[in-house]
Structures are given as C-alpha cells and as structure tokens.
Amino acid sequence: MNISISKTPLEMGKVAAEKVITLINEAIEKQGYARMMVSTGQSQFEFFENLIASDLPWEKIELFHLDEYIGIPESHKASFRKYLKERFIEKVKGATMNYISGEGDVDAEIKRISSIIREKPVDIGVIGIGENAHIAFNDPPADFDTTDTYAVVNLDEGCRNQQVREGWFPTFEDVPKQAISVTVYEILRCSTVVSIVPHAVKAKAIHDTVKATKADNNIPATALLDHPDWYIYLDEASASLL
C-alpha cells in the first residue's frame, strides 16, 4: 500500500494522473498495449481532466467500465455510460471502451463483458472508494468469495443515499436497487490498483480501510490490502482521520 496526500482535489488529480500515465506507458512499452479499468463519479473529475490533457497513444489503450445500474437508459444523467462518453471518451481519440449496459438481458451482458475482459490481463485498475467503502458497486457485505468477473449486486442504503447527495437522482426511491458490477476478485487480478479518493465525506471510509489489519467484507475496500501493488491518492480532507 502506497499513500499519497495532496492539499486539494485538483493537486491530487494531477499527481494520480501522472502515476497512471506512467503505468500506461510502461505497459505499452512492454507489450504494445495497455488495458485499464476506469471508475466514475464526482471523485474522478480532476483525474480525468489531467488524463485527457496528456499525449497518451490512445489507440493502444483498451478501457473497461466498472459498473452500471440495472434498468436505466444511457440517456439518464446517472448512467455511467453517459458519464464516460461525455467526460472522457469523446475527448480522446482512438481508445477502445468496453461499456456495460444494464438494459435488456442482464445475464447475456455479463457473459459478454466477462468474456472480453478475460481475454488478456488488465494492467491498471482505477478503483474509487465509496462513502460506505465500496469498490465498484460491491457494497457491504461484499462477496469476497466469488470468482466471477462481473455480477449482479444489490446496492445498500448508504450507497443509494450517496447517489442522491451527489445529485445523480432526485430521491432515494429513484435510485436503482441493483447494478452490474465488476467483482472484488476481478479487481484484485489487475496488475496495479490506483484508488483516487478525495473529499471529507470519504474520510471515515479511508480511515476504516487503511487502519484495518485484515480484509473485512463489511469494509469492502479492505480487500485491496491484499493487493501487492496498490496506490491510494487522497486530499487533505479525505485523509483527515488518518
């Protein structure tokens, strides 16, 4: 575990992007391409801005979407497909983005995206941490035992309330109860994991994760304690309880 603390989210986003850019270039130099999982949400805004401004060879980069709500269309403002297209993919040229759709035949979609991601190892997992310490949409108690790649997960009350507070949905009842999510198992298969976690609302989750002595599925992010190459980027607010 490697922890970096910046004064502000803006500084944190720049430092985290520099690390990810280095990792991507190293993978491309070694094997001719890079594969990366990417997170969404307000916590990733500054990181994406810096990544977009880089001169990476995007045509050599393949990206994977972590999760998507079941039952909402891409046109919904909370759709992670919409988020990634508008805030990231449409601003770079040549990258391959593997999106997840939560509409239609969910089992078929899980089989499709699982098959693609298992074709070759994933070099970098950019994995945020939620207010309830979830990683992707693996809410507590997270499934640490499955060896599936993607799965249908239930969203807990804390996670659904977070989506309302961040403005993605007008009320708690509007937030879907389920999503398709990459599993904890698959996240841990990434060669390197980078967690970008700003803001004071994440301080308790960061404290509970970093101070844990072992993985605990009631604090899902503690699964990352067992990863041999994990980097955490914080601002002073999210690190305030450490």
Name 234's bridge partners.
5, 197
Stated as kind and residue range, the H or E segment containing 19 is: helix 9-31
Helix (H, G, I), strand (E, B) or coil at 205: helix
Whether the pLDDT of residue 42 is over 80: the answer is no
pLDDT tens digits along 149-197: 999 999 999 889 888 988 889 999 999 999 999 999 999 999 999 999 9
Q: Note the pLDDT of residue 183.
A: 98
Does position 60 have pLDDT exceeding 80, yes or no?
yes
Strands, DSSP E only, in 118-229?
Answer: 124-126, 150-154, 178-182, 192-197
Q: Phi, psi (5° rounding) for residue 140?
A: -70, 140
Q: pLDDT band at 45, cuts 50/70/90?
A: confident
Q: What is the C-alpha separation between 1 and 21, in angstroms, rounded?
A: 19
Quick one: pLDDT band at residue 71, thresholds 50, 70, 90? very high
Cα–Cα distance for residue pair 15/136, rounded to 1 Å:
22
pTM flag (> 0.75): yes
Specify the pLDDT at position 221: 98
Delimit the domains of the chain by residue range: 2-235
pLDDT for 135 equals 97
Yes or no: say if 186 and 142 are a contact pair by the CB < 8 Å rule: no
Residue 40 has pLDDT above 90, yes or no: no
Domain spanning 2-235, CATH class: alpha beta
Evaluate whether 67 touches 180 at the Cβ level (below 8 Å). yes
